[in-house]
């Protein structure tokens, strides 16, 4: 893991401008999984919760983390996302590139460091896995530990009854295959774009950015307060960075996306500063 910490990492700065984020009253409508018309989301999580087992995750890591599929520029990978609508998202049906721009521009409007802006812009880049044939239930959606008991605070927890690990004594206790305070780095998370992109970016970005990428979909931890018994001191120190990122990821979503052509020169320079010219995916 990249242990480089940016100068401001010890004390995340407070946002100063909220114009690009939903207002406090509007925020109550986000992540409403009880609203009608979410059949696609429920079907997604049924598949996700049924098939994301401990053995499945370890198999996917062996399959994908060799990064031997193809070589692409960061822009080529991002342009693919312009064709992808996230089936797990109850809040918006815009292509993913629009969501990334909304996230990054809200971060930039609040005056955060450029590495933080870049993190917002690329945080879902791992969804390029769909380009390689992975079904969305193995790429997007909320993440959670496998190899131990599934929390009731994960979205649609009833679907874990379909997961064979919930009936396996090796995996269905509080700690399962893990030890108290082992640290999240030792925990296998449900497979998806978060872990894939973290592994791809860990040599290029500071540690707070890597936590944002790796755990931004781990709502059971950063919003619901679950799985603290598995975390270590480093996880607890960086939890606030994940929480800092979450409002930009979630509350910047609306049906008025920024214009990519107008912003491309800025993000060209940002990616050139931090990322290699091509990525081995």
Residue 221 structural domain: 37-280
Q: Is residue 2 part of a domain?
A: no
Q: Is residue 20 part of a domain?
A: no
Q: Is residue 83 part of a domain?
A: yes
Q: What is the full per-residue pLDDT of the chain (281 aa) written as tens digits?
A: 454 445 444 344 433 333 476 556 655 554 445 554 568 888 999 999 999 999 999 999 999 999 999 999 999 888 887 777 656 554 455 677 888 898 999 999 999 999 999 999 999 999 999 888 899 999 999 999 999 999 999 999 999 999 999 999 999 999 999 999 999 999 999 999 999 999 999 999 999 999 999 999 999 999 999 999 999 999 999 999 999 999 998 867 666 778 888 999 999 999 999 999 999 99
Identify the pLDDT of residue 85: 65
Identify the pLDDT of residue 81: 78
Q: Is residue 228 part of a domain?
A: yes
**What's the whole-model pTM score?**
0.85
Tally of structural domains, the chain: 1
Q: Is residue 19 part of a domain?
A: no
Residues in Cβ contact with 95 at an 8 Å cutoff, skipping those fewer than 6 apart: 81, 82, 83, 84, 85
């Amino acid at each position: 893991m990249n242990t480089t910490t940016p100068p401001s990492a010890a004390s995340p700065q407070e946002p100063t401008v909220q114009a690009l984020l939903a207002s406090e009253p509007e925020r109550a409508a986000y992540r409403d999984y009880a609203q009608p018309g979410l059949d696609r989301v429920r079907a997604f999580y049924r598949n996700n919760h049924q098939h994301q087992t401990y053995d499945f995750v370890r198999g996917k890591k062996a399959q994908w983390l060799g990064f031997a599929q193809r070589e692409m520029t960061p822009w080529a990978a991002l342009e693919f996302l312009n064709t992808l609508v996230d089936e797990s998202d109850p809040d918006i049906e815009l292509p993913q590139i629009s969501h990334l721009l909304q996230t990054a521009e809200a971060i930039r409007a609040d005056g955060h460091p450029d590495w933080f802006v870049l993190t917002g812009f690329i945080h879902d880049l791992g969804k390029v896995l769909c380009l390689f044939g992975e079904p969305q239930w193995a790429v997007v959606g909320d993440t959670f530990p496998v190899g131990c008991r599934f929390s009731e605070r994960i979205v649609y927890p009833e679907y874990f009854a379909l997961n064979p690990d919930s009936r396996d004594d090796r995996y269905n206790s509080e700690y399962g295959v893990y030890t108290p305070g082992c640290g999240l780095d030792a925990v296998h998370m449900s497979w998806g774009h978060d872990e894939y992109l973290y592994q791809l970016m860990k040599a290029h970005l500071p540690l707070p950015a890597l936590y944002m990428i790796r755990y931004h979909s781990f709502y059971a931890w950063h919003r619901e307060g679950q799985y603290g018994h598995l975390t270590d001191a480093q996880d607890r120190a960086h939890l606030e960075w994940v929480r800092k990122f979450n409002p930009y990821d979630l509350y910047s979503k609306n049906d008025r996306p920024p214009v990519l052509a107008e912003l491309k020169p800025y993000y060209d320079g940002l990616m050139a500063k931090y990322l290699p010219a091509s990525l081995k995916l």
